[in-house]
A and B are shown apart, each in its own frame.
Chain A
């Protein structure tokens, strides 16, 4: 039914020509791109423009600097990652909107959320159809937790931990992730949320060993911290002999 006849309209171009066409198309925005250089873009598979990554919240591994500017279009997106993609058509008269046609990525109030691993198409749509497509690689994130500073953390002191999501192959897993932070034992430290979910301030409260864990979806990673005794209060040290003397006096019944 579908094969066995020569399609009447088939026009096979050499594959090199197709690649050349895609390259030309990726550069087609010319002066517009020169006036507003962007790094987080990639050419659509139909060769009609550029898909541009947009970080929607700090903590997206695609925007490691200020949290808003992508270093480049990510090669992988984390399951649970929230992001936005917009489309820059080579034809300035066309303004497609990007949305997901599949169940692997969901549209959520103008943003996209990766919900399952695999290759997932997103489309640039116009009124009369699909203008261009792009396939994203969605992965279960592998987490790494880092600390600013080293060595035991004295009681009362603060240390910031940060978590990064990777694709398990050394690349970043993009998308803003809603990390949850926990500590075990819970009373050993106090966790103070920062303005971004990929970082947490840890305030040491009890001497000992504590594991602070970042979790998102089915992925988690713990970080072991040694809590040391707090700094010795010089004034308290000075007062200690007197206190002892008083106690001693009380014990001996010589207090007034």
Chain B
């Protein structure tokens, strides 16, 4: 019985997307194992690194994001267009639209990857 889930898991590729902040937003944007914490009103460019079964995927991998949760309007994720002049390549801009929580579900070549929780928090006084 205990082997069955492992065997099934072994049959299904596990996708994952790691994110890192590529711009210098005026307030700190935290990306950790707990997810993303971004202040309301702030936009941060992020670089997305796709993995399949723990192995990094190439640059030609298609990545997209779907926002899920009770209030999908609290966060916005938009692709970066043009020649971003930051410290790293940037793929997306994450925006804290309004206070609340949601989940980002990455799509790696149309495969759903592990969801990333997002908390949009108040700006410090």
Contacts and interface: CB of A to CB of B under 8 A. Distances in A.
Given A1-B16, A103-B97, A119-B42, A8 B123 contact: no
Contacts of A1: 16, 18, 33, 35, 114, 116
A48 interface: yes
B41 A121 contact: yes
Nearest to A137: B26
Interface residues of A, number: 42
A219 interface: no
Interface in A1-31: 1-5, 7-13, 15, 18, 21-22, 25
Nearest to A102: B41
A48 B123 contact: no
Interface in A93-136: 94, 101-104, 118-121, 123, 125-126, 128-133, 135
Contacts of B85: 18, 21-22, 25, 46-48
A130 B49 contact: no
A35 B56 CA distance: 49
A34 interface: no
Contacts, number: 134
A11 B84 CA distance: 13
Contacts of B53: none
A7 B20 CA distance: 8
Chain B contact-residue range equals 35 or more
A123 B18 CA distance: 24
Given A3-B31, A101-B95, A102-B98, A129 B26 contact: no
A91 interface: yes
Contacts of A7: 18, 20, 47, 49
A238 to B, nearest CB: 68
A2 B32 contact: yes
A3 B32 contact: yes
Interface in A215-246: none
B14 to A, nearest CB: 12
B41 A118 contact: yes
A102 B93 CA distance: 13
A118 B95 contact: no
B82 A94 contact: yes
B40 A118 contact: yes
B41 A9 contact: no
8 contacts: A1-B16, A10-B47, A46-B86, A89-B82, A104-B40, A118-B123, A129-B79, A133-B43
Interface of B: 16, 18-20, 23-27, 31-33, 35-36, 39-43, 45, 47, 49, 56, 59, 76, 78-90, 93, 95-98, 114, 116, 123
